[in-house]
Amino acid sequence: MVVQLTRNDPRRLSRGGGFSLIELIAVMIVVGILAATAAPILSLTTGARAAMAARHLVRDLTFARQRAVATGTRSWVVFDTTAETWTVLAEDPNSPGRINAAVLTDPATSGPFVQNLGVNQFVGVQLETASFDGDVEIGFDWLGRPLNQSETALAAQGSVTLSGSHVITVEVGSGFVAYAPP
C-alpha cells in the first residue's frame, strides 16, 4: 500500500525549516560553557611557554659556561630586549676579546645560536629585563666564572626576567645558573 501525501495533509514532510528557538538557546549555552573553560586554559598555555623559554635559557647559559670551560675560550650570551632575542657567541682563541666573538652554531638545530621570543613555540613570551652589572651581556671565562660586558668579573648576581615573572639568575663567582619559577 502506497500512501500519497497531499498538500493539506498534516503528515506531509516539511522541507527546510531551520532550528527552533530552544535549539538555538541550547547551542549558545554550550558555546558559552566551552568559551568559559577555554580562557583559563589559554592563559595556562602562555605560562607554560614562558616556563619552557626559561628552561631553554638556562640550557643556553649553561652551555655557554660549559663550552668556555671545555675549550678554554670565553663564551658570551648577549640579550636584546627590544628584539626579544638572546645570542650565544664565542671568542676566537687566536684573537681574544669580546669584540672578536662570533655567533656559535647551535648543536641542537645546526643553525645560528640565536633564540627569538614571541614567535613559534615561544609566542606570547617576552624578554622583560636582562641585567649583568647594568649590562645586557654575560660572558664566562675558562674557569666558568661570569664576566660583565667590560670583561671583568661579575660584581653582583645577574638576572634575566621573562614574562610572567620567570627569573633566571647567574651567581657571582661560580657562574651557577638557576631558574626560579613564579
Q: What are phi and psi of 52, to 5 degrees?
A: -65, -40
Enumerate the β-bridge partners of residue 169: 159, 178
Q: What is the mean pLDDT of residues 24-52?
A: 78
Q: CA-CA distance, 94 to 30, in Å (whole number)?
A: 68
Give per-residue burial for 160-177: e unless 16+ CB within 10 Å, then b.
bbbbbebbbbbeeeebeb
C-alpha grid cell, residue 177:
645558573
Q: Judge whether residue 9 has pLDDT over 90.
A: no
Q: What is the mean pLDDT of residues 118-131?
A: 91
Lowest-confidence region among 41-55, 96-110, 142-156: 41-55
Would you list the domain boundaries of the chain? Answer: 21-180
Q: Judge whether residue 96 has pLDDT over 90.
A: no
Per-residue pLDDT tens digits for 78-91: 999 999 999 999 99
What letter would DSSP give residue 176?
Answer: -
Mean pLDDT, rounded, of the chain: 87
pTM: 0.75
CATH class of residue range 21-180:
alpha beta
C-alpha grid cell, residue 93:
682563541
Lowest-confidence region among 6-10, 15-19, 139-143: 6-10
* Sole residue written with cell 651581556: 137
Q: CA-CA distance, 5 to 9, in Å (whole number)?
A: 6
What is the amino acid identity at position 55? R
Q: CA-CA distance, 64 to 137, in Å (whole number)?
A: 12
